[in-house]
Amino acid sequence: MANSRSGDSMTERIVRVLDTFTTERTMQTTTEIAERTGLPSSTAHRIVGDLVAAGLLERDEEMRIRLGMRLWELALRGSSALRLRQAALPHMEQVQTVIREHTQLAVLEHEEALFLERLSHPDAGANITRIAGRLPLHASSSGLVLLAHADPALRERVMSLPLRAVSRETVTDAGVLRRLLTTIRRQGFVVAPGSIEQVSTGVAVPVRDRGEVVAALSVVLPRESAPAPAVDALLAAARGIEQELRSGR
């Protein structure tokens, strides 16, 4: 791919355009995309036009741009995330029937917890997580499980950076975080009260594929709820998912 005068390739410019879309910002004008990417207006319009023609972006009647169905289709073809989600869903539903709160599946992606699926009961409490949303590894129960079982070099890199406080109870001290991750590996789950929202407690367990931790399964409980039933339900579900992944090969 040819480079621009600034040195970034066409692929990098396309990624910058796609990265302007978030779970909250699903529709934009091409001018807004140009402003958010820092690309020249003519370049942004050309890239957006090409992506619309390819079906990776779509343009509505008001000339606003959104992600295209073709992008979704391509992302799912042969995706390991799709395989994991399909294996997990029946067991997530079982957790849901017992716990009747938010049940979530997350993977490690670019040093963040990326959420592939979420099931929610109508009466469930507060939860900021969305499908395809991300949370810091140190500040969510799913992220803590993923970080605890991540490559040691990644763990050290995360702990060497400033640990942002998402709530007053988010662990922001590297020494405390290191001890917490050791505990998570030893006990096989985490209970994280108030790390994202003070009114909630996150509970998470690892999901393994042939011994390797590939995901975290979690629930978000009201702060006053006892976590033990959620831990039991999640551990049982994780075992079920692992069996599905083994038999699906």
Taking alpha carbons only, the member of 108, 127, 111 closest to residue 119 is: 127
Does residue 121 or residue 161 have the better pLDDT?
A: 161
Q: pLDDT digits over 23-66, tens only?
A: 789 999 999 999 999 999 999 999 999 999 999 999 999 999 99
Helix or strand run (H / E) with residue 123? none
> What's the half-sphere exposure (Cβ side, CA atoms, 13 Å) at 212?
6
- What count of other Cβ atoms lies within 10 Å of the Cβ of residue 117? 19
105 touches 132 (CB < 8 A): no
**Collapsed DSSP state (helix, strand, coil) of residue 2:** coil
End-to-end CA distance of the chain: 36
Q: Determine how β-strand 190-193 pairs with β-strand 102-109.
A: unpaired
* pLDDT average, residue stretch 182-193: 97
Phi, psi (rounded to 5 degrees) for 241:
-65, -45
**Collapsed DSSP state (helix, strand, coil) of residue 158:** helix
Q: pLDDT digits over 86-97, tens only?
A: 999 999 999 999
Asked whether the predicted pLDDT for residue 117 surpasses 80, the reply is: yes
Give one word for 188, left, alpha or beta, with left for phi > 0 and alpha for psi -120 to 50.
left
Average pLDDT, the chain: 90
Q: What is the reported pLDDT for 84?
A: 92
Q: Confidence band (pLDDT; 50, 70, 90) for 149?
A: very high
* pTM listed for this prediction: 0.78
Asked whether the predicted pLDDT for residue 148 surpasses 50, the reply is: yes
